[in-house]
Amino acid sequence: MPAVLEHRSQPKVEDGEIAAVRIGEEATLKRFYQQGDTVLLQTENPTFAPLVYANHQLDEIAIEGKAVGFCRGL
């Protein structure tokens, strides 16, 4: 039986949760933090700087959902 992927949109996540984020035409998983009108998207890889969006830049991103689990190195 083929695997079934369920998609459920969840446009809001709590601080520190890993979110599926659309940035323009790209999609990525980042840890989400918000303080007022500023959103910080932090990668799990410490060699990369966080992405910071504020004010009108927030129109460039969209939260698609919360990551509830993933596997690495399969």
Which residues neighbour 30 within 8 Å (Cβ) at sequence distance 6 or greater?
Answer: 18, 19, 21, 41, 42, 43, 51
What's residue 68's pLDDT? 77
User: What pLDDT does 15 receive?
Assistant: 94
pTM for the whole structure: 0.77
- Rounded CA-CA distance 53/30 in Å is 13
Q: Are 12 and 64 in contact (CB under 8 A)?
A: no
pLDDT at 43: 93
Buried b (16+ CB within 10 A) or exposed e, 37-47: eebbbbeeeee
Mean pLDDT by 10 residues, the chain (74 residues): 51 89 93 94 94 94 83 65
For the chain, list the domains and their CATH numbers: 18-66 (2.10.109.10)
